[in-house]
Structure 1
Amino acid sequence: MLSKASKPRKLVLYSKPGCCLCDGLKEKLHAAFSLSGPDPLHDVVLQVRDITSNPEWEKAYQYEIPVLAKVLSDGSEEILPRLSPRLGVELVRKKIAAAFKQ
């Protein structure tokens, strides 16, 4: 059985094509994952979900995207607080690291 430390942490980004806020957040997340420092995020796996491919996602998130969710150990998702588009990469890293500590 895998130990908790060896299991990758997962985030889901609900997005849609042509969403500049979504694209910007995706770029910042990838940059944040590559930063070193306290609480590195190198093991985080980001799954991008196109809300236009699923009617339930589209209904739930059409006016909210980008929506970021943390995948919990039981496979359920916890929606994270919205990250401001103005946040720098280091602050994004800190907020994601803090979300995984909860």
Structure 2
Amino acid sequence: MKQKQSRTCVVSVRFLPKEKQHLTERAVQQQTTVSELLRLNVLTQNDKSRHKSVPEVNRRLYFELGKISEQLQTIEPSTDSLTKLQNLLDEVRKELLGMNK
């Protein structure tokens, strides 16, 4: 079992009040702390598979919308309306995980 390491080093960084507010808002949107937001962005900056923080609610909704899309196929025969609805659901699902950017 991995032993949890304590973060003991502190790095001081100065921000303008509006920059700090922006960081705080982004952290809240991503359901994380400002420290974790900065850590993820700085430490993974050169990583081509850059980790993006996706809120857990977005992940859950992504899978639930996928289930709905599958159920629609069993309820109604394939029609143009159904295809449009499934395409829309797919777009929303991608947007939830930040895949449309």
Would the TM-score normalized by the shorter structure come out above 0.5?
no
TM-score normalised by length of structure 1: 0.23
Determine which structure has greater relative contact order: mean sequence separation of CA pairs < 8 Å that are 6+ residues apart, divided by chain length: 1
Please identify which structure carries the higher helix content: 2
Please identify which structure carries the higher strand content: 1
Higher-Rg member (1/2): 2
TM-score normalised by length of structure 2: 0.23
